[in-house]
Amino acid sequence: MTQKELTRRDFLQKMQQAGLAAMAASLPTVPFLSSCNREASLPSTADTVILLWMAGGMCHTETFDPKTYTPFEKGMESKQVFSTFPSVPTVVDGLSFSEGLSEIGQVMDKGTIIRSYRAADLGHILHTRHQYHWHTCYEPPQSVQPPHIGAWIAKELGPVNEVIPPFIDIGQRFTVGEGEELKAFHSAGFLGTEFGPFFIPDPSRGLDSVKPPKGMDLRRFESRNKLYKELVKNSPFETYGSSYQQESLMQSMERAYRLLKSPDAAAFDLHEEPQEVYDRYNTGRFGLGCLLARRLTERGARFISVTTEYEPFLGWDTHENGHSRLVGMKEQIDRPVAQLIRDLDERGLLDRTIVILASEFSRDMLVEGRPGQKVRDQVEVPDKVEDPRHYGMHRHFTDGCSLLMWGGGIKKGYVHGVTADERPYKAITEPVVIDQIHQTVYHALGIAPETNYEIEQRPFYTTPDGEGKVLREVLS
C-alpha cells in the first residue's frame, strides 16, 4: 500500500470523525425535533429582516446619542471627555446625532431610535460572548446550540423564493481573530443545516458564491455534485444521524444546487447595478453589503445580516485612536445605510422589511461594564489625555446603547428611552433588553410567542423560557 493511499484513507477517516464530532456537539439526541402546537398564522407587518451589525462595540455617545462636545486639548483629564464629535440635527425635531452621521439622520423620519438598550451582564466582557447573546438571545455557554435569530426566521416562515437562501450573512470572515468563537453563533443549531446562514464574506464577489469554481463547466460540476451526495450517503450522517438531520442536509444541498442553475443567481452580481448606484453605496465591503442586501430583499431573502466585521482591535473595537477610527467607521456606514432605507422605501419594500442597526455594547472612557457591577479593566486609560490616540472611548460599557429600527410596522420619527447627560451615560428611562428586541421582531413577522421545539425532553423557545415581551412602544 502506497503512502498516497494511506494519506487518502487517513483523510477520509478524519472527515468521518469530524462529522461525528459536529453532530455530537450541535445536535440533540433522538427524538430530534418536535414542534409545539402553534397557531397556523398570525397577523404580520413584515416579511423580511435586514440586520446591520456594527461589530466591535459602537459607542453611543460618539454616534447616535451625543453628549457635550469636548474638543481635544493636550493634558485634559480623561473624565472631562464626553463626546469627541459635535452633534448635528436630524430630520426629526429635537433629535441630534454625532457629526459624521448626518445622512442616517435624514432618514430617521422613517424609523425609531432606541437609546436605552442595555446589554447583558455576562461578567468578564468578551465581544464574542456578547455577540452570541445578541444573535441567539441565549447567554453562553448552552448545553444545546441555540439557533441564530436568522435561522429561527428561516425555519418558521420558510423561503419567499425557493431558490434564494432564506438566511444570508454578508461580510464576516472566519479567518480573522476569534473565528471559532464567531462560528459558534452563526448557526442554525438544532434546527438543522437547511436553516443555517449562506455566507458571502466579500459582497463585491458575491456572484462567485453562487457559481461553479473557475474552470469547471456545468457537466463537471454535476458530476461532482453526484459524487458529493454519495459521500454524504456513506458518511456518519447516514449511520448515526436522524432522518431529520439527513433531510435537512440534503435540502440545504439541493437549494444550493438550484441556485447555481437559476437566473436568480444574478441577484448576487453587483455589477448589474448602474455605476452611479454602485458608487453611491461603495464605501467598502460594508457599503456594498448594503447594496447586496437590497438586491436580495428584492429577490425574496428572509433574513440578511450585513456586518462591518468583527476583528479584534479593528473597526468599532476602539481601544485606542477612538476618535480618528470613528471618523473612518462613520464614513463606511453613513451613506450606504441611508441609501438602503431610501431605496427600500422608493421600491415599496420598506413597509414589509424591518431594518435594524445594532452593536453588542457601547463604550466609555472610565467605566468597564456597568456602574455598580464593574468588571476587570481590559485597557489602561490614562488620567490625562496627552496623546490623540487616547482621545475617544476605550472601555466596554453595557448600561446604555443605541439601536435603530426602520420599516415593517416600526414607528416613524420615534425616540425611545433616555440616557444620562452626565457620566455614567446609562439608560435612565424605559430600559430595553435583547429578549424584547427578538420578540418584537418575531411579533412583526407573525411568529407566535409560544414557538418552541422539544429538545432533550424540554421545550426550547425563541427567547429564554418563552418570556420575551414585545416592545409595543416602538410599533406603529
Q: What is the DSSP string of 87-121?
A: EEE-SSTT-EEETT-HHHHTTGGGEEEEEEE----
Query: Given a cut of 60, is residue 460 above it in pLDDT?
Result: yes
Average pLDDT over residues 285-310: 97
56 and 314 Cβ atoms separated by less than 8 Å = yes
Cα dihedral 96→101→106→111 (10° resolution): -80
pLDDT at 125: 81
Query: Given a cut of 60, is residue 241 above it in pLDDT?
Result: no
Distances (CA, A) of 389 to 75, 318, 430, 457: 13, 10, 35, 53
pLDDT at 20: 42
* pTM tops 0.85, yes or no: yes
Query: Given a cut of 70, is residue 207 above it in pLDDT?
Result: yes
178 and 317 Cβ atoms separated by less than 8 Å = no
Mean pLDDT of the chain: 87
pLDDT band of residue 220 (cuts 50, 70, 90) is confident
pLDDT at 68: 96
- Class of residue 201 by CB neighbours under 10 A (exposed 0-12, middle 13-18, buried 19+): middle
* Helix pair angle (322-346, 285-299), 10° resolution: 20
Q: Which of 371-380, 417-426, 453-462 has the lowest mean pLDDT?
A: 371-380
Average pLDDT over residues 333-358: 98
pLDDT band of residue 18 (cuts 50, 70, 90) is very low
pLDDT band of residue 192 (cuts 50, 70, 90) is confident
pLDDT at 356: 99
The SS3 of residue 320 is: coil
pLDDT at 260: 72
Cα dihedral 427→310→196→152 (10° resolution): 0
pLDDT at 373: 78
pLDDT at 133: 97
Q: Is the dihedral of CA 109, 115, 121, 123 positive or negative?
A: positive
Question: Residue ranges of the alpha helices (H) in 262-321?
Answer: 275-281, 285-299
16 φ, ψ (degrees, to nearest 5) = -65, -45
Structure confidence by residue, pLDDT tens digits, 88-106: 999 999 999 999 999 999 9
Closest by CA position to 165, among listed 198, 202, 193? 198
Q: Which of 29-33, 318-322, 367-371, 441-445 has the lowest mean pLDDT?
A: 29-33
70 and 83 Cβ atoms separated by less than 8 Å = yes
CA atoms within 13 A on the CB side of 212: 14
CATH architecture of the domain with residue range 49-93+106-207+269-386: 3-Layer(aba) Sandwich (3.40)
pLDDT at 177: 81
pLDDT band of residue 32 (cuts 50, 70, 90) is very low
C-alpha cell at 26: 450541535
CA atoms within 13 A on the CB side of 321: 9
Per the model's pLDDT, the better-predicted residue between 294 and 251 turns out to be 294
pLDDT at 124: 76
pLDDT band of residue 225 (cuts 50, 70, 90) is low
d(CA 438, CA 149): 7
Query: Given a cut of 60, is residue 60 above it in pLDDT?
Result: yes
Structure confidence by residue, pLDDT tens digits, 157-181: 998 998 999 999 999 999 888 889 9
Query: Given a cut of 60, is residue 5 above it in pLDDT?
Result: no
The SS3 of residue 405 is: strand
Query: Which residue type, as a one-letter code, is found at position 455?
Result: I
Query: Which residue type, as a one-letter code, is found at position 324?
Result: S
Average pLDDT over residues 64-83: 95
Largest CA distance in the chain: 79
pLDDT band of residue 190 (cuts 50, 70, 90) is very high
Element (H, E) at 180: helix 179-183
pLDDT at 250: 60
d(CA 36, CA 196): 21
pLDDT at 263: 86
Average pLDDT over residues 343-366: 97
pLDDT at 4: 43
Average pLDDT over residues 368-391: 86
Per-residue b/e over 409-424, b at no fewer than 16 CB within 10 Å?
bbbeebbbbebeeebb
Q: Residue ranges of the domains in the chain?
A: 49-93+106-207+269-386
pLDDT at 14: 46
Pairing status of strand 48-53 against strand 353-358: parallel
pLDDT at 122: 87
Q: Compute the residue count for the chain.
A: 476
198 and 168 Cβ atoms separated by less than 8 Å = yes
pLDDT at 210: 76
Query: Given a cut of 90, is residue 248 above it in pLDDT?
Result: no
